[in-house]
Amino acid sequence: MGIEAALPVDGFVTTQLRRVINFARRNSLWPMPFATACCGIELMATACSRFDLARFGAEVMRFSPRQCDLLIVAGRISIKTMPVLQRIYQQMTEPKWVISMGACASTGGVFDTYAVVQGCDQFLPVDVYVPGCPPRPEQLIEGVMAIQRHIEREGMPPPGGKRMPLGIAIQPTHAPRPQPVGLTLGS
Ligand code: SF4
């Protein structure tokens, strides 16, 4: 990788063990995708070659919660689905994080009905809210990076203990056009 040309390979470096461990944790988040609707398509795009989540070490999607430490909720959660998602979260390994991706996951979106939970933070400790309907892959990546920044700064996690949810809201990356947009008919 060229690093051997820049550094004396027979030498040694000194650092804090905490920094090394957090460096490894930061760059090896394993997401648990929980996609129930259209936001899931953007989640898939984020992992594909154009946006390449692998650049951030977070492309190893697992469908077994015991192997995951980053839950990405993408789409609306119905009352019926809620206990399933709760169980998945409980089975994930500590320390773990939660990203709420899109308007539906964060607030229920336009689905203000009796069957839809009005935000997964009503039953999960959400760390990062990614806005949009759907959010672009860059915004989801920004959400992952927000968690990475936190891991880099924090000390060692308490054994088996969950800290408070971070509650970070990612800013939109664009300004919406004024509505309604002018309509042109014909040529
Ligand atoms: S926020 Fe929009 S794109 Fe995402 S699941 Fe809801 S309706 Fe679909």
> Which residues does ligand 1 sit against, CB inside 6 Å?
37-39, 75-76, 102-104, 109, 133-134
Domain that holds residue 85: 17-169
In a domain, 8, yes or no: no
Residue 155 lies in a domain: yes
Q: Is residue 85 part of a domain?
A: yes
Res 14: pLDDT: 86
Q: How many domains does the structure of the chain reveal?
A: 1
CA of 148 to the centre of ligand 1 (A): 25
Q: Is the pTM of this model over 0.85?
A: yes
Report the nearest-CA residue for atom 3 of ligand 1.
134
CA–CA separation, 100 vs 98, rounded Å?
A: 7
Domain membership of residue 4 (yes or no) is no
Mean pLDDT computed over every residue of the chain = 89
Closest CA relative to residue 58, chosen from 46, 41, 45, 74: 46
**103 part of a folded domain:** yes
The residue nearest atom 8 of ligand 1, judged by CA position, is 38
Quick: pLDDT tens for 67-117: 999 999 999 999 999 999 999 999 998 889 999 999 999 999 999 999 999
Which pLDDT score is estimated for 1? 61
Separation of alpha carbons 12 and 48, rounded Å:
37
Give the pLDDT score at 13. Answer: 78
Can you give the CATH number for the domain in which 87 is found? 3.40.50.12280
| Smallest CA separation from ligand 1 atom 7, residue | 133
pLDDT digits (tens, 9 = 90+) for 141-151: 999 999 999 99
